[in-house]
Amino acid sequence: MISNSGAPAAFRRGRFLIARRRGQSPRRRAPFINPSCTLSQTHRAPVFRITSFALPYNSGMNFITRRRALLSAFGVILIVLTAFFCCFFALGSAASQTQKPVVVLDAGHGGIDAGVRGTLTGVKESDLNLSFVRILQEKFEAAGFEAVLTRKTEAGLYGTTAPGHKKRDMAARAAIIEEAAPALVLSVHQNFFSDPARRGAQAFYLLGNASSKALACSLQSALNRMPECVKKTSPVAGDYFILKCSGAPSAIVECGFLSSPEDEQLLITQEYREKLASAILEGALTYLSSAS
Ligand SMILES: [Zn+2]
């Protein structure tokens, strides 16, 4: 606080007149005069002393005002934080509600591993697999899925061609499937058999796995409804690594026999691949609707 232990009015008037005679501008009247000032103090020049950092008659109010201001600020911060977290969790909840189911589409083989080859044209299984997966990707995405592809190019997933490439390739596929946390896994291949008369698309499932078997049965039913599928068949059980990479229902579809000239003639056309992919989508959707 700044206080003025100043002089009485008569003394100030004298100083005023002396100042005017000397041609000086008179000292302006101090805003505050201490009424307890005695005559003995009047002979001293006004002294300004800092006695406190806060005015005594204001200090109580300042403390209350500061406390209120702090409480108000704290309240505002609390409200802002609450609103922020409410919005954050509401958006998170909305996002989880609109999250699309994930389907992993695995194009078998790739790179130096071409798979089997067509006896008629020499077409590589790896190329046909990738083409099928691309078509399936479009169809599943149009049906509201998020499609994750293990292999997106003609290259394999093994990195280098050093020994052990097949093992590395399968490990990379397994990692992609695991990370995707899919609702469904479909692996696409082409078949081959010593008898060229053997034809048709066929689904494979993991032996002892009920969801894998149910999915394969639904896929096979849809494939058997295709007029081109002349030999109606049943899904086949087996121990397949790609079907054990997640807990999601998983199946392999062998789209046809590249050892059959008739099947190969169909498989090399985009039109047939589109048709067969539609049957796979239909089978998958039927399974998912029955399983939910
Ligand atoms: Zn294959």
CA quadruple 122, 171, 102, 284: dihedral sign: positive
Distance 11 CA to ligand 1 centre (A): 114
CA quadruple 263, 269, 275, 276: dihedral sign: positive
Distance 285 CA to ligand 1 centre (A): 24
Q: Is residue 132 part of a domain?
A: yes
Say how many C-beta atoms besides its own lie within 10 A of residue 290's C-beta.
Answer: 10
Question: Residue 217 in contact with residue 181, Cβ under 8 Å?
Answer: no
Distance 252 CA to ligand 1 centre (A): 10
Beta strands across the sheet bearing 250-257: 146-149, 102-107, 184-191, 250-257, 202-206, 236-238
**pLDDT for 160:** 87
Distance 113 CA to ligand 1 centre (A): 9
Q: Is residue 72 part of a domain?
A: yes
Q: What is the pLDDT of residues 161-217, one digit of tens each?
A: 888 999 999 999 999 999 999 999 999 999 999 999 999 999 999 999 999 999 999
Asked if residue 219 and residue 170 are part of one domain, the reply reads yes
Distance 155 CA to ligand 1 centre (A): 15
Asked if residue 143 and residue 108 are part of one domain, the reply reads yes
Asked if residue 113 and residue 158 are part of one domain, the reply reads yes
Domain range for 88: 63-99
Q: What is the pLDDT of residues 48-86, one digit of tens each?
A: 444 444 444 454 556 667 777 777 776 777 777 776 655
Q: What is the pLDDT of residues 122-168, one digit of tens each?
A: 999 999 999 999 999 999 999 999 999 999 999 999 988 888 999 99
Q: Is residue 45 part of a domain?
A: yes
Asked if residue 89 and residue 175 are part of one domain, the reply reads no
Number of domains into which the chain is organized = 3
Distance 80 CA to ligand 1 centre (A): 58
